[in-house]
Chains A and B, each alone.
Chain A
Amino acid sequence: MFSYFANPARFEGLARWLTPVLGILALGLIVLGTYLALFVAPPDYQQGDTARIMYVHVPAAWWAMGVYGAMTVASVLGLVFRHVLADLAARAAAPIGASLTFLALFTGALWGKPMWGAYWVWDARLTSMLVLFLFYLGYMAIHATIDDEPLAARIAAIVCLVGAINLPIIKFSVDWWNTLHQPASLLRKGGAAIHPEMLTPLLVMAAGVAAWFGYVWLLRIRTLVLRRQAFLKLAERAR
């Protein structure tokens, strides 16, 4: 499948109709999720209305990690199989993942202040998320500073693979260390520890963010493909 879509023309054929579908889906799900989060979901029995921050914070944090996972897969494909689109896909995903990580850190800080009394603590979960943000910035810095695109892609892919070690650290940081951040309440032994009335808006928002990521990612990959085409046409003329 990966080899099939490594052809830019085939990829464009799929992306042309999938991009608007994902855009409409993202808008619908995020608007619905926001309505459910603010007007339908009940306040938490301990945290009150502050718990509504969860509907922005948790999907952003999940997908901050998910996008890095997608970048890791693309980096492996780029390094091992030298797929044309794999490097572009990883490169296109980085600013999206960085934005999601920033949003998770920002909303986490605003949640931390009323609940913990501090915007920031050097807790294992918070620190590992900050490390993820730095990996995103580092990855983007490599592409921004190295003009030789294939070389930049190779170095960035290796950095991305090194950073992937951080993903299980983020996930299990709340179990491995004594953290102020709460442990997992959805993917845990014994099932979800969250009431369906709160789980539904959370999952709707997460699905909306997934569709949003798909929309922006495809658009960014298509932009990089077009830029490469423009560059090749220019190089052809110069010959």
Chain B
Amino acid sequence: MSFDPSMGGYGAFVWPCFVAMVVVYGGLVLQARWAYRRAQRAVNTKAQEQ
């Protein structure tokens, strides 16, 4: 099956949706992982200080 990236001229509306999906889903994963690591470091530092 041949794939037409312009999607019959409607690609201008379709592609941004998939890009937005990657940005939103990927962005939240990265933010959550970063916040978790930061919190983990904070707990470990407090434990060492004690």
Contact = CB atoms under 8 A, between A and B. Distances in A.
Q: Do the two chains bind?
A: yes
Contacts of B46: 230, 233-234, 237
Interface string A200-222: 00000000010010011001101
Centre residue among A212, A215, A219, A223 by max chain B CB count within 10 A: A223
Nearest to A209: B25
Q: Label chain B's interface by main secondary structure.
A: helix
Contact of A106 (B14, B20, B33, B50): B20
A226 B43 contact: yes
A30 B25 contact: yes
A221 to B, nearest CB: 10
Interface string B4-45: 100110110110111011001101110011011001101100
Q: Label chain A's interface by main secondary structure.
A: helix
A114 B13 contact: yes
Interface residues of A, number: 43
B28 A114 contact: no
Interface in A52-98: 52-53, 56-57, 60, 95-96
Interface stretch (A43-51, A135-143, A173-181, A183-191): A43-51
Interface of B: 1, 3-4, 7-8, 10-11, 13-14, 16-18, 20-21, 24-25, 27-29, 32-33, 35-36, 39-40, 42-43, 46-47, 49-50
Interface of A: 23, 30, 34, 38-40, 43, 48-50, 52-53, 56-57, 60, 95-96, 99-100, 102-103, 106-107, 110-111, 113-114, 209, 212, 215-216, 219-220, 222-223, 226-227, 229-230, 233-234, 236-237
17 contacts: A34-B21, A49-B10, A49-B14, A50-B13, A50-B14, A56-B17, A56-B21, A107-B20, A110-B17, A114-B10, A216-B28, A219-B35, A226-B39, A229-B43, A230-B43, A233-B50, A237-B50
